[in-house]
Amino acid sequence: MALKITEECINCELCEDECPNQAISSNSEIFVIDPNRCTECIGHYDEPSCIAACPVECIEKDPAHTESLSQLADKYAAMHC
């Protein structure tokens, strides 16, 4: 399942630098996560690095983009192998 950033985002920019898949970018009001690039850090880290970096805890699982661990691993392989 991809992650999403909620409206509580304060535009601190910490999450963008932490994403190994370049899935996070800024729009005019808050940062957003591209569900096509988000692997929840599968293939890179044990935990999503953006969640660990977020000071306001505004990053959560996106129920609109449900994926299994296997699907996330396949997405990682397609982007990085």
Domain boundaries defined on the chain: 3-80
Model pLDDT, residue 29: 87
What dotted CATH number matches 3-80?
Answer: 3.30.70.20
Q: What is the pLDDT of residues 1-45, one digit of tens each?
A: 799 999 999 999 999 999 999 999 998 889 999 999 999 999 999
Model pLDDT, residue 47: 94
Model pLDDT, residue 57: 96
Model pLDDT, residue 79: 93
As a whole number of Å, the CA-based R_g of the chain is 12
Q: What is the pLDDT of residues 54-63, one digit of tens each?
A: 999 999 999 9
Contacts (Cβ under 8 Å, ≥6 apart) of 2: 23, 33, 35, 38, 40, 61, 62, 65, 67
pTM: 0.91
